[in-house]
Structure 1
Amino acid sequence: MIALRAGRPVEITGVCARDRSRDRGLDLAAVRWFDDPVDLAQSPDIDVFVELMGGEGGAAEASVRAALNAGKPVVTANKALLARHGVDLAEIAEDKGVALAFEAAVAGGIPVIKTMRESFAGNRISRVYGILNGTCNYILTRMERENLAFETCLAEAQRLGYAEADPTFDVDGFDTAHKLSILTALAFGTKLDADRVYVEGIREITIADIEAADELGYRIKLLGVARRTETGIEQRVHPAMVPKSSAVARTDGVLNAVAIDGSLVGEVVLVGPGAGGNATASSVAADIIDIARGLHLPTFGVPAAGLEPYVQSEMHAHEGGYYVRLTVVDRPGAFAAIAARMAEKGISLESIVQRRRKPRAEPPASAVPDDPQPVILITYATTEDQIRSALAAIETDGHIAAPPRLIRIEEL
């Protein structure tokens, strides 16, 4: 099938991995084994080098550079490598006249790279956003469906192999940030700058937030959003409340979803498996077939020399609605003082909900009249700077018993 579609046979002639003895489900006896991936990358017996090791440096970077410098096309699934060294590697590939293909690096089996680089070539893209990490989406889905705490869902994700033993890269948003930086370069023709993506993870999301979102007509998802603004390109990764009617809200479990806003076609949404062996293999095989067909495109849709410097739109200028959960001390004047602080900063409130704690059968002897109560505020569109300033003032006034919780509302 591959030979028919590629127009020529494709053979595995060399392989390198940490463990020779592992059962991989196929006979590699006739395939030459390399102990050093750089040696494999430079071997005269190969036409294409496929890198699936991961990591932004080390053996992955060294072997990809070696292959490109030897004039060999490269297929990679390594988003960290591309986020850190993508422009440099693209320049080498273009200088040598070979392809650097990376469909599997973003959203697994979803063909978002091909869609943006080829199918959207006639469009001016204004925004790209979506769910780019299956681990976080699985955790948030389980929390909502089964009323489970974050820690419980994370432990289950680790048991099932959806999350690493150290889940920091996933749950704190850095994996999504790497993928978003790649999509940003493709969407807006700018150089990659993963270090300047605003990043928040999902550790602080609680059942109370998820229940409130449901009552308000939203679901909570970890989004990566890149959009063109008057002051530059906005790149941000954070939990967001999204309308239940939106496609991303209906994307559950380990699935990913990517939405692209084009000047001619409007919004296109791609949904599918964002990780896993088969999803990755699907995209890697497609890239290999494209190379065998002779397809050779600029790595990021335009020549590397034509990528513009990345101009960042500062996060404090972001504008939108906000969900704010406060633990307010129940005493006279507290709520009026909070509302006054919001008004001072020019923030209009769309709704206010006081969520009384469930009463105990017998109040404890230590109970006091100012027992803190949860209060939820929904704002109309305001800026990040205004809402942060208002919350800082509210904390200083001493009317809340815990740090405020803020989640952005994304009206998709």
Structure 2
Amino acid sequence: MRTVTCVDGLLREYAPQVLATLVRRYGTFDTCEDAVQEALFAAAMQWPSEGIPASPVAWLTTVATRRWKELWRNEAARRRREESAALLTPPEPPPVPSVDDTLTLLMLCCHPSLSRVSQVALTLRAVGGLTTAEIARGLLVPEATVGQRISRAKQRIKASGAEFRPPPPEERAERIATVLHVLYLIFNEGYTASSGSALHRVELTTEAIRLARQMRERLPDDGEVAGLLALMLLTDARRPARTSTRGLLIPLAEQDRSRWDAAAIAEGTDLITRTLSVAPIGPYQLQAAIAAVHDEANRSEDTDWPQILTLYGLLRTIAPGPMVTLNRIVAIAMVHGPRVALRELASAEGDPALARHHRVHAVRAHLLELAGDRAAARLNYERAAQSTLSVPEQRYLHARASKLGSAGGAPAPGRGGAARRTSGA
């Protein structure tokens, strides 16, 4: 008999297929989602003791359909109590189809009428199979807030008149890009939590990688889907070495690379190498290529910084952004020296997207440290620590500042530790 953990994994795998089937049949996203959640709960209670059925998807679909009928009758009775019972009989559903509509479901959860936070919450609930409590823990928000976001999202989808079918060809590329962006948001929040006492929220990174794999299975020829999956694998491979036994953040240059996940690095490197040779280049592919260059270096000093700087130049051209700017400046420092990079940073600070961002202070501190200006570096590390809501980052930045303030201490190495969303720790 399979373990409870195995059952949980299977339920998360099957949940989007069952929900997609019900939404395609009945069209009522909110009621279908409620019915599927109850079917998942029933399976979680029964399967560990009774065994997993021969056709799990069919079992879940049958139970969810039965529950949907109950909900439908209850709602119909409430609205039309005086009508005859004959009019309150829903149509019998067709057999469970073999088609997998997970991609369509993902696109529905990332409907353009929803805000980003609602897209994230609904994707984790409907496609990821996470409970409201699990999502709340992962995003560090009250469970009631998550529940409200999901409820409003379902109501907005209903009000928009969105149908359960793939978007028209002219909208397909944009909708896929939105799905990839949402998955990347989920991954980033799990890999470097924006607030709270924990650096990692493994349930979020794990779920983002799982959903990216599903996207890859359904869109094997899409270069950006492959690029995002490779980027996640290559980045998450470093997670075992990112924190000390005391939970302190360890920057990329100081990590024990023997603790990196070699299998994930090999898979990610092979995937991005094959993809770059056949697909039009996109931003996720370039970020994955940068991550691969970092991961392939046996030691920090072996890193091919000129190649990384070239890749950031391409990335800045096709997908400019504040984190791309900061990471490119760090690469400039490693190739041309910290003084050149400080001038670049001074020029870049005029970008409103970088205004008051704590990583600007962190990058400046890193560059000043490399340049030997310990007092100014210490001040900027402290400013960065005061600006971030992440407790692990605060501890790390305070520690860097303290080290620079100690009498007679040698300059800390710190390479690549300031801007981490794309190429760092």
Give the alignment's TM-score, normalised by structure 1: 0.31
> Whose relative contact order is higher, 1 or 2, with alpha carbons under 8 Å and at least 6 apart?
1
Structure having the larger proportion of residues in helix: 2
Give the alignment's TM-score, normalised by structure 2: 0.30
